[in-house]
Amino acid sequence: MNAKVPGPYSAKVRDHFSHPRNAGTIPNPSGTGLAKSPVDSDTVLITLRITNNHIADIRFKCMGCAVAIACSSVATEMAKGKHVDEAYQLTKQRVADALDGIPEYKMICSNLASNAIRSAIDDWRSREIAEAKTSTS
């Protein structure tokens, strides 16, 4: 993809937009999370596979602008391989910092991946609890 990224974006934003990492979905994921922008149509879907409480694989699908795609790409890189408790602590600010900054107005509408990751981990945790209850019944 050689689309020109408009605006005051860092080289890292442009790179993650042009060459997104971990794009797609995981079949039969351990957890799924969705985050939607409160101000526009940007949406991020995270699917992940968890093994031994670590994120073994993570993928994203994003409908949004260049910054939303870049944030999703870098957030999945930051979460992959991490213990779920560590990945759960990923913040919008850490994602923005990893991209050498994003415009402040993009923090709300485009920096959604950390919320989607927490939602996916919450989904995995609820599945684990449900499975434990089923196996002890």
pLDDT in tens, 16-59: 999 999 999 999 999 999 999 988 999 999 999 999 999 999 99
Residue 118 inside a domain? The answer is: yes
Domain residues for the domain of 107 are: 11-128
Residue 122 falls within a domain, yes or no?
yes
Q: Which residues of 82-101 are buried (b: 16+ CB within 10 A; e: fewer)?
A: bebeebbebebeebbebbee
Return the CATH number at 49: 3.90.1010.10
The pair of structure tokens assigned to 93 is 């600010």
Residue 3 in domain: no
Sheet of 31-36: strand order equals 31-36, 43-51, 54-63
CA pair distance 113, 68, nearest whole angstrom: 8
pLDDT in tens, 53-108: 999 999 999 999 999 999 999 999 999 999 999 999 999 999 999 999 999 889 88
Domain count, the chain: 1
Could you tell me if residue 24 is inside a domain?
yes
